[in-house]
Amino acid sequence: MKYINELREGESVVEHYLCKSRQSLKSRNGKTYLSLKLQDKTGIVDAKVWDMNKDIQSFAENDFIKIDGSVTVFNNDLQVNVKRIRRSMEGEYDPKEYVPTTDKNMDQMFQQLLDYINTIESPYIKTLLEEIFLRHPLISKEFKYHSAAKSMHHSFLGGLVEHTLSVTQICEFMSGRYQFVDRDILIASAMLHDAGKIMELSDFPENDYTDDGQLLGHIFLGAELIKDTAAKINGFPKQLESLLKHCILSHHGELEYGSPKVPETIEAFILHCADNMDAKTKMIEEMLAADNTQGNWAGFSRMLQRNIRRSDYK
C-alpha cells in the first residue's frame, strides 16, 4: 500500500483511500470540479478532480475509493490530481489501514488516567470521577478510543486519552510547585476538560461534528456533564460544582478561542496552560513527523502561524 505520508511530488499514485470529504465546486470559468480529502492511517491529503469524465464514478463522503492520479504541490502542500475514481470493493482494502491511531497503548493510558481517581482526597470529587469514568454509559466505554479533535491536534483513534493523560500529568507536576492550588480540583478538571468531545464528535471513520457538537460544543457539554453527575451525588457542594465547571468553561483561555469565561482561579489557569502546551506541542510533533522535505525547515504551520524548524545542528 502507498501510504499518504510516503507520497512525493511528481509520482503517480493508484491506491485505495478513505474519502474524508467531498465538495462539488465551480472554478472561475464556471467549470465543475471536485475537492476531496483523502485519508489513511498516516494522514490526510488534498485531492482535486478537474475533469469530470466517465472515469469519475459515483461515490460519497466516507466511502473507500480507488483513485488514479498524480502528486503535485500547491501552496507548499501536496495535492493529488485525480484522473480516475471508483468505489473500492469489499476485500480490496483493510479498514484498519485508514484510521489514524495513536502509537501508544490505549488500554495502558486509560488505566494510568483511572489511577488518578484513587489519589483524590475529596469524597465528592472522587465519586464524581468514578461515576463519569467507570459508570457513564458512553464515556466509560469510548473514552480510550475517541479522537480529541476533528483536525487540530490528537485527531486520531486514542487521541482523547493520550491528550487527557498528558494534560493531567502536566497538572500533577504543577500542583506541587505552587501555593493555593487545590490538587483535587486541578486533577479532576484535567481529567474532565475534554470529556465533552465524546458527545461533540462522532466515531471513526467519520470523526465529524454531531448535532450537539455543532450546536453546543464540547466546552458546554463538558460543563453539563459535571452538573448532571453532581446532581446525582447526595450533598455535592454547589460551590465545588461551580469551581469545577469554571475550569471546563475557561480551559481555552480566551473568549475568542471559544471559552465563555477566561480563567479566574489558579486551577483554571494551570489547566488552560497545560492544555495549550500539549495541544501545540503535538501539532509541531505531527508536522515534523509528516515532513518529507530536505533540510531543517519543515515549512509554515497555518495552525500556529509560524515556520517550524527541526533542532538538528552540526
Question: What digits encode the pLDDT tens for the residues 198-222?
Answer: 999 988 777 888 999 999 999 999 9
CB 208 within 8 A of CB 202: yes
Backbone angles phi, psi at 185, to 5 degrees: -65, -45
User: What local confidence, expressed as pLDDT, does residue 269 receive?
Assistant: 97
* Integer CA distances (angstroms), 311 to 56, 290, 295, in order: 44, 16, 11
Cβ neighbours of 36 (radius 10 Å): 24
| CA 82 distance to own-chain centroid | 28
What kind of architecture, by CATH, is found in domain 4-97? Beta Barrel (2.40)
Which three-class secondary structure state does DSSP give residue 56? strand
Reported as a single tens digit per residue, the pLDDT across 59-70 is: 988 889 999 999
Reported as a single tens digit per residue, the pLDDT across 144-201 is: 999 888 777 788 889 999 999 999 999 999 999 999 999 999 999 999 999 999 999 9
Task: Kindly report the pTM of this predicted structure.
Answer: 0.81
Cell of 64: 473507500
Domain boundaries, the chain: 4-97, 99-287
Which three-class secondary structure state does DSSP give residue 194? coil
Sequence-ordered list of residues with C-beta below 8 angstroms from that of 204, at least 6 positions apart, any chain: 99, 147, 157
DSSP 107: H
What kind of architecture, by CATH, is found in domain 99-287? Orthogonal Bundle (1.10)
DSSP 203: P
Which three-class secondary structure state does DSSP give residue 311? coil
Strand spans (E) along the chain: 12-26, 32-40, 43-49, 64-74, 77-87, 297-301, 306-309
* Block mean pLDDT (10 aa), the chain, length 314: 89 93 90 92 90 85 92 90 92 86 92 97 98 93 88 84 97 96 98 95 84 94 97 97 98 87 97 96 88 83 89 83
Partners of 21 in beta bridges: 37
Length reported for the chain = 314
